[in-house]
Amino acid sequence: MSLYQGIFKRDMHIAFKQKAELVQPLMFLLMVVTLFPLGVSPSPDTLQRIGPGVIWIAAILSSLMAMERLFRDDFQDGSLEQYVLSGMALPAVSTVKVVAHWLVSFVPVLLLSPLLAMFLNLTFDMYVALLLTLILGTPLLSLIGAIAVGLTVGLQKGGVLLALLLIPVFIPLLIFATSAVDSAALQLPYYPQLAIIAAMLLLAAALAPFAIAYSLKVSQN
């Protein structure tokens, strides 16, 4: 157990040493959201209409940038190989790494979300729904994304490929998350959508660690 704690502490420690890498995806998120009022329309009604979708699309895009960091440094300095050879349960190691990555990459997104909601003129009810979908949905992004990151970590040019692999897989999450916020805007219950996102999260939490472990083994060849 202490081994996994060690990995967790090490990952957190390294992440806070590389502050620029943590902040850049967040700034990207903020800037993408800023483009929509400029490009579509600054009228409050329009912004409220497109807001949930814009925030979620921007979150997915910025998560693709943040995701690359997940295994890259460990792959390059060889510690990933050591994890594979160490005899530790690789699914558990990858879960620990995904959790640490989620804490440093997505919790800041949650903290930034009130600002985004304000920019796009979301009502308070809509914001609550948005926050709930983000809390349930971003771990799902991390878990599924980690599979593709594990596969592409050994490639020189993984960036665009990662997006190609992941965007189609994230579509259901986008649909349910935005529809939950839309329901909240109409004062309708949005528990069904949240329940479905939670179900997808549980499914991913059960299966993804094994897929991540397998994909890391494939990358190590």
Partner 1 sequence: MWKWLHPYAKTERAYQLCITLQPWLWVGAILCLSIGTVWGLAFAPQDYQQGDSFRIIYIHVPSAILSMSTYVAMAIAALVGMVWQWRTAYMTMIAMAPIGAALTFIALFTGAAWGKPMWGAWWVWDARLTSELILLFLYIGVIALYGAFEDKQQAGKAAGVMALVGVVNIPIIHYSVEWWNTLHQGATISKFDNPSIAPEMLWPLLINLLGFAFFIGAVTTIRLRNEIVLREQHRPWVQALAEQALLPHKTRER
Residues in touch with partner 1 (CB under 8 A): 144, 147-148, 151-152, 155, 157-158, 161, 164-165, 167-169, 171-172, 175-176, 179, 182, 200, 207, 211, 214-215, 218-219, 221
28 vs 214, which CB is nearer to partner 1? Answer: 214
Name the residue nearer to partner 1 (CB basis): 52 or 112: 52
CB of 108 to partner 1, least distance (A): 27
104 vs 134 by CB, closer to partner 1: 134
Minimum separation from the CB atom of position 138 to partner 1 (A): 18
CB of 27 to partner 1, least distance (A): 28
Q: What is the 3-state secondary structure (H, E, C) of the chain?
A: CHHHHHHHHHHHHHHHHCHHHHHHHHHHHHHHHHHHHHHCCCCHHHHHHHHHHHHHHHHHHHHHHHHCHHHHHHHHCCHHHHHHHCCCCHHHHHHHHHHHHHHHHCHHHHHHHHHHHHHCCCCHHHHHHHHHHHHHHHHHHHHHHHHHHHHHCCCCCCHHHHHHHHHHHHHHHHHHHHHHHHHHHCCCCCHHHHHHHHHHHHHHHHHHHHHHHHHHHHHHC
The nearer residue to partner 1, 142 or 179, going by C-beta atoms, is: 179
Q: State the minimum distance, in angstroms, from the CB of residue 155 to partner 1.
A: 5
Query: C-beta of 11: minimal distance to partner 1 in Å?
Result: 23
Looking at beta carbons only, is 42 or 172 nearer to partner 1?
172
